[in-house]
Amino acid sequence: MKIPKTHPRYQSLKTREQIVVGVKNGITSIHGLLAHGRGEAFDYLLGEKTHTFGKKAIEASAALLVSSRYPAISVNGNACALIGKELVELSGLLNCPLEINIFHSSKTREKNIRKYLERYGAKQVFLPQKTCSILHLGSNRKYVNKNGIYKADTVFVPLEDGDRAKALIKNGKKVITIDLNPLSRTSQAATITIVDNIIRSMPLLITYIKILKTKDANFLASIISVYNNKNILRNAEKALRT
Ligand code: ATP
């Protein structure tokens, strides 16, 4: 559908269209439409803008990713449809793998996501291996790749579900998420929660990473040490309720 740029909800409708195209192309699950709708509702309440609490979390995420020993990026169908190109750029900047992990298991969709990311120049796209899993998770999503998430000290998991975010933390990993709902189990469990639309926050995260890559370890550590995720979530909830 062609959306006129003059439409007052142009960006929101364009993003919705990206998810629909993702479903049509076998990248996003049909259930992903519902998850997206929930996100839209929170974004509406937040005024569809990046708040200070979002920017602070983005800066801390960039510092943590740049200073991590072995970061990995977890990709699902919604994230791929909305910010696939940016995830490939992030992986290049951090020299770290992308790993596909989807809620509604499908080999075909995994392959489609991989093809999509490779089309944008992704070098390392891992799939979960049945021989390698994390602890504390019952579902299929426990399977990981031994050279990807299994090995990672920090996992970037935009648009995640709470069970998996909690399990990754219990497995000793730092978890960075993007989630418009500060009350979700994922937001509450993560080490850093970027409460913002993934569409707006990914380009900002990339900009911060480019800047912070030029700074030394002490500078990065000072950003991480003053960051307080509980406060960030409290401020985000306040913004939602006022
Ligand atoms: P949890 O298990 O963490 O409590 P949930 O069950 O509420 O999560 P899911 O359906 O697993 O939610 O995932 C959807 C989450 O992603 C929701 O919290 C929603 O607000 C968020 N979300 C959806 N679209 C976007 C988007 N474009 N940007 C940021 N967050 C989004």
Q: Tell me the average pLDDT across 188-215.
A: 98
- Name the closest-CA residue to atom 7, ligand 1: 184
Residue 41 lies in a domain: no
Backbone angles phi, psi at 193, to 5 degrees: -115, 120
Please tell me the distance between residue 220's alpha carbon and the centre of ligand 1 in angstroms: 29
Please tell me the distance between residue 158's alpha carbon and the centre of ligand 1 in angstroms: 9
* Residue 192 banded pLDDT, cuts 50, 70, 90: very high
Residue 26 lies in a domain: no
Range of the domain at 175: 52-241
Residue 33 lies in a domain: no
Domain harbouring 189, CATH code: 3.40.50.12640
What's the residue count for the chain? 242
DSSP letters spanning 40-61:
HHHHHHTTTS--HHHHHHHHHH
pLDDT tens, position by position, 104-137: 889 999 999 999 999 999 999 999 999 999 999 9
Task: Name the average pLDDT for the chain.
Answer: 96
Predicted local confidence at residue 9, as pLDDT: 86
pTM of the model: 0.97
Could you tell me what percent of the chain has a pLDDT over 90?
93
**Beta carbon of 35 within 6 Å of any ligand 1 atom:** yes
